[in-house]
Amino acid sequence: PIKSTMIAEQKAEATIKYAMAVISQVWTHAERMGLVNSPSPTKQVTLPKKDNKRQRYLSKDEADQLLRVLKSRSPVTHDMSILALDCGLRFGEIAALTWGDCDLNRRQLFIRDPKARANRFAFMTERVYQVLSSIPRRANSELIFPDTNGKKMDLISNSFRKTADELFNRNMTDLRLRVCFHTLRHTFASRLVNSGVSLYE
């Protein structure tokens, strides 16, 4: 009845999920206290699902335009963007890269402990090789792209968000079509597919 009522009142899917989660937490607490002895009724509720996958990727001209603006505003963000575009790396993977992971002779990057859990190698394009070869090593950090304190970055710089908003996101209300840093990874994948690489690979 709660779910049906919320749907009838046109509540957002996220609101319905949040309500079910609160009920589940309360029920679990009551079960621990011995007030109820049956599973939460929310386990029988099918929650609404929405496709939130990002669908946007950049054309070559759009990617070049983005890089041009970033180079003038934030050279570090520009370089990180090239690694995402040319190697398909996530932001977290780029932020965690150390010089020990970077083999300029073999032109390989070792991606350790990624989101998918399996360590892997990424291969440098000529552009990535040139970028990494030109970055000076910092005495206080082994990270390739440390923050100002020599620590691992938590977020991409505001320069990227502002640039993406100015170039691509004006009046874009659908989050799936907004350009964000992860769009660069999607662009890398779309280029592979367009060049004949299978989706599985």
**Would you give per-residue pLDDT tens digits along the chain (201 residues)?**
687 887 778 777 778 888 888 888 888 888 888 888 888 888 777 766 655 566 789 999 999 999 999 999 999 999 999 999 999 999 999 999 999 999 999 999 999 887 767 899 999 999 999 999 999 998 889 999 999 999 999 999 999 999 999 999 998 888 888 999 999 999 999 999 999 988 777
Predicted confidence at residue 51, as pLDDT, reads 53
Predicted confidence at residue 101, as pLDDT, reads 96
Predicted confidence at residue 95, as pLDDT, reads 96
Maximum Cα–Cα distance across the chain: 65
What CA–CA distance (Å, rounded) separates 87 from 97? 13
Global confidence as pTM: 0.73
Residue 111 φ then ψ, to 5°: -100, 105
Predicted confidence at residue 21, as pLDDT, reads 84
Task: Say what angle helices 60-73 and 158-167 make with each other, to 10 degrees.
Answer: 140
| 3-state class (DSSP) for residue 65 | helix
User: For 172, what's the count of Cα atoms within 13 Å in the CB-facing half-sphere?
Assistant: 15
User: For 194, what's the count of Cα atoms within 13 Å in the CB-facing half-sphere?
Assistant: 10
Predicted confidence at residue 198, as pLDDT, reads 85
Sign of CA dihedral 131, 134, 140, 141: positive
Predicted confidence at residue 186, as pLDDT, reads 94
Predicted confidence at residue 47, as pLDDT, reads 67
- Six token digits for residue 91: 């932001």
Task: Dump the DSSP string for 122-161.
Answer: EE--HHHHHHHHHPPPPTT-SBSSB-TTSSBPSS--HHHH
